[in-house]
Structure 1
Amino acid sequence: MSEFSLNTRFERALKGESLDIIPVCSVTQTGIVELMEMTGAYWPRANYDSHKMAALALAGHEIAGFENVRCPFCTTVLAETLGCTVDEGSVDIQPYVTDFPCTKKGDVKEISVPGSLLESRRIAAVLDAVEIMKTKVGKDVPVVAGLVGPAGLASMLAGMKNYLMWFVTNPDVVEELMGTLTEVCIEYANGLLERGADAVVLIDSEAGPDIIAPQMFETSVFPLHRKFCREVPGLKILHMCGDATAVLDPLADAGFEGISIEEKVDVGFAKGIVGNRVRLIGNVSPSDTLLTKGPEEVVIEARACLEDGIDILAPGCGLAPHTPLKNIKALFRARDEYCSL
């Protein structure tokens, strides 16, 4: 019998405390078509209906085996709430932004924190799903909820072209926008925790060095991440797509308990940068390995992550919808074999 419950193990892993075995989780999206077929909870409805969302998220734990439950499955919840036009997608395509409310610099001043933010359609569905999930799994299984961070939201509301241009020509404009969006993120994250989430994941890939210069991150985004961490209690994780190596040092001091990294980041090298300041989560490739290769290749890559010192074994980013279930299960085989040595 395991020494700890899944929730206790997850929390201890994020706090750098001693463990019986390394957790295998997903702090990014877990909706795959095989699970949709098994539960009858298909996209796009499972992105909008709280009961379908909860059913598909629970399947990630109950069927796929992840040692946590995670929702939502898309990144448009806050964007649509704040005025973006969103296409709902399909069974294997996530919702995506098609039009932006901040196409001119003057539009930024029109963006504010809605007075009924937590009652809006998209957010209310996620909050209800979190409560359903927590009621179902109880205190022994961690419930993880994701939300897009201020930089990611700014790129959605302004469009990537404006977002990048304003960083160079009008940094005060993009900083004003991100400042408002940080307040939105804080209110939403606290709402998620109040409804039963054990941890929140701030997804802010557009703040990473693949998109903006590390100096821009440290000047304009890092203070907002610190503010988020100060004002949101509980466990907090930052997910950043791409090669986040150049900003890992400041990120380790932002106040997050964990950083979720893609396979582009060398785990061993990253551990040398962050030391004991923060825990690393990842970083088996969701596209090059989990989607397209077989279980044996998954085991090999997962084993390398474990040997390099990953703190929580996980996909490096959200799962592609057609990821084979057998490849997810191979993550547990790799962990069990490694931890039995």
Structure 2
Amino acid sequence: MDAFTPKERLQKILNKEKTERPPVICPGGMMNAAIVDVMEKTGHTLPAAHHSGELMEDLAYDVYENTGFENFGIPFCMTIEAEALGSAVDFGSLKCEPKIDREPFPSADKVNFLPNGAILKNNRAQAVITAVYNLSKKNPDIPVIGSLTGPISLAASIVDPMTFFKDLRKNKEASHRALNYVADQLIDYARLIVDSGVSVISIADPTATGEILGPKMFEEYAVPYINKITAAILEMGVPVIVHICGNVKSVKQHIPNLRGKAISVDAMVNLQSLKEEHSGLTTMGNLSTYLLEFSDPEKVHRATESLLTHNIDIMAPACGLSTSTPLANIKTFTDVVKGN
């Protein structure tokens, strides 16, 4: 019998307390575990579950029950906030996740600032609220993780991204205004998710990579706006996990300055070395999602055992899971972590 419930285990790790083994989770959002194998097995499917709180709840429970991940992770995409702030969204299909179809603003200085709370008026945001509330009330021992799109990624989802990256260098005043705007909107959205019973919030900012921003712009833009959101959520009494994509080599000196309770990184990052360089860092990851999709259970088993020897605090996929990832590979991953 496990020493802790899944919720207790994750909370203890995020509070830097000892547990008998690491949690194994998949937060939702960019790391969406609603794979085709699970949806075809249960009949609760996307894209319908993007729009219905009850279906979202059912599918999140299906993922938990079938994959072995020790959490409910919602939503199943990274487009809700951008849609609420004006972007057109292609909602995808059973096998394809939603994506931004069109950004409404050509540049940072053309952003139309909606009143605070704009995201809360979006029907899909309300579906998330319903799912969080129902899952947390019905399953008090399982952590509900609510995933937010990070500020850099959200800004680049409402402003033409190529222009936005130029604006970060050439029009800093407008860029800061746009990022402050999306950060405030995300804080309002986070507050409602927290009030609905979420256990942890994960902020995934895949656009805020060292490769895209470089160390100077990462320090100027990514760190302060991620921290603004994180600080507000921590004041609400809920821990935050921050995911940074890509190779963090060029920005790793800034990683300890991020205020999340845990840092999640991509598969090419050596988490053991990162922990050794920055003592006290709570690390999450980072089994290759490419391996999970294209390999076999035996190779997944070996890779998972290797990660466990590195004393990673929270075991999780490294980045976005493909919907075509075989359920057998995910089950191998979670079973090895659990010692099954």
TM-score bucket (shorter structure): over 0.9
Please say if residues 208 and 214 of structure 1, whose CA atoms lie closer than 8 Å, have aligned partners that are also in contact: no
Counterpart check, 1:13 vs 2:13: yes
Matched-pair contact (CA < 8 Å) for 1:39–1:55: no
Distance in 1 separating the partners of 2:267 and 2:107: 36
In the alignment, is the contact (CA less than 8 A) between 1:33 and 1:322 conserved in 2? yes
8 Å contact from structure 1 (residues 101, 107) kept in 2: no
Hey, what does 2:303 align to over in structure 1?
A: 301
Q: CA deviation at 1:255?
A: 1.7
Are 2:65 and 1:46 equivalent residues in the alignment?
no
Which residue in 1 is equivalent to 2:321?
319
Q: Report the CA distance between 1:332 and its aligned residue.
A: 2.6
Tell me if structure 2 keeps the 8 A contact 1:131–1:195.
yes
1:236-268 CA-to-partner distances (Å, cap 9, x unmatched) read 011122112433442323320011111011111
Residues 151-230 of structure 1 aligned to structure 2 (within 5 Å): 151-230=152-231
| Structure 2 residue aligned with 1:120 | 122
Question: Does residue 97 in structure 1 map to residue 97 in structure 2?
Answer: no
CA RMSD of aligned residues (A): 1.6
What is the alpha-carbon distance in structure 2 between the residues aligned to residue 206 and residue 154 of structure 1? Answer: 10
- CA separation of 1:11/1:123 partners in 2, compared to 1, >3 Å: closer, same or farther? same
| 2:260 is the alignment partner of 1:261 | no
Question: Is the Cα contact below 8 Å between 2:117 and 2:188 reproduced in 1?
Answer: no
For 1:113 and 1:146, how far apart are their aligned partners in 2?
A: 22
Amino acid at match of 2:197: G
CA distance in 1, matches of 2:337, 2:187: 34
Distance 2:166 2:206 in 1: 17
- Amino acid across the alignment from 1:332: T
% identical equivalent positions:
30
Partner-residue secondary structure (3-state), 1:207: coil
**Aligned residue identity for 2:147:** G
Three-state SS of the structure 2 residue aligned to 1:63 is helix
Change (3 A) 1:122 1:114: farther
1:137 to 1:159, Cα distance in 2 relative to 1, 3 A: same
* Separation in 1, partners of 2:118, 2:179: 20
Distance 1:318 1:274 in 2: 25
Residues 59 and 18 of structure 1: CA distance in aligned 2, closer, same or farther (over 3 Å) = same
CA distance in 2, matches of 1:335, 1:51: 30
The number of aligned residues is 334
* Corresponding position: 1:285 with 2:285: no
Q: CA deviation at 1:295?
A: 0.7
SS where residue 30 of structure 1 aligns?
A: coil
How far apart are 1:73 and its partner, in Å? 0.8
Structure 2 counterpart of 1:17, which letter?
A: E
Q: What is the SS of the residue equivalent to 1:201? A: strand
Structure 1 stretches of 5 or more lacking a match? Answer: none
Structure 1 residue 292: Cα displacement: 0.5
- Confirm whether residue 243 of structure 1 aligns to residue 247 of structure 2: yes
1:162 is displaced (CA, Å) by 1.0
Looking at structure 1, the residues matched to 285 and 35 of structure 2 have their Cα atoms a distance apart, in angstroms, of 18
- Distance between the aligned counterparts of 1:104 and 1:292, measured in 2? 39
Aligned partner (choices 322, 331, 334) of residue 336 of structure 2: 334
**Over 6 Å off, 4+ runs:** none
The one-letter code matched in structure 2 to 1:12 is K
Deviations 1:132-174 (A, max 9, x none): 2112212x11110101011001111112201211112112221
1:113·1:183 contact (CA, 8 Å) conserved in 2?
no
Matches within 5 A, 1:128-147: 128-138=130-140, 140-147=141-148
Corresponding residue for residue 2 of structure 1: 2
- Paired amino acid for 1:141: I
Q: Aligned partners of 2:261, 2:252: CA distance in 1, in Å?
A: 13
Asked whether 1:76 is paired with 2:85, we answer no
TM-score by length of 1: 0.94
TM-score, scaled to structure 2: 0.94
**Shift in alpha-carbon separation, 1:210–1:286, aligned structure 2, 3 A:** same
8 Å Cα contact 1:69/1:142 also seen in 2: yes
Matched, 1:56 2:51: no
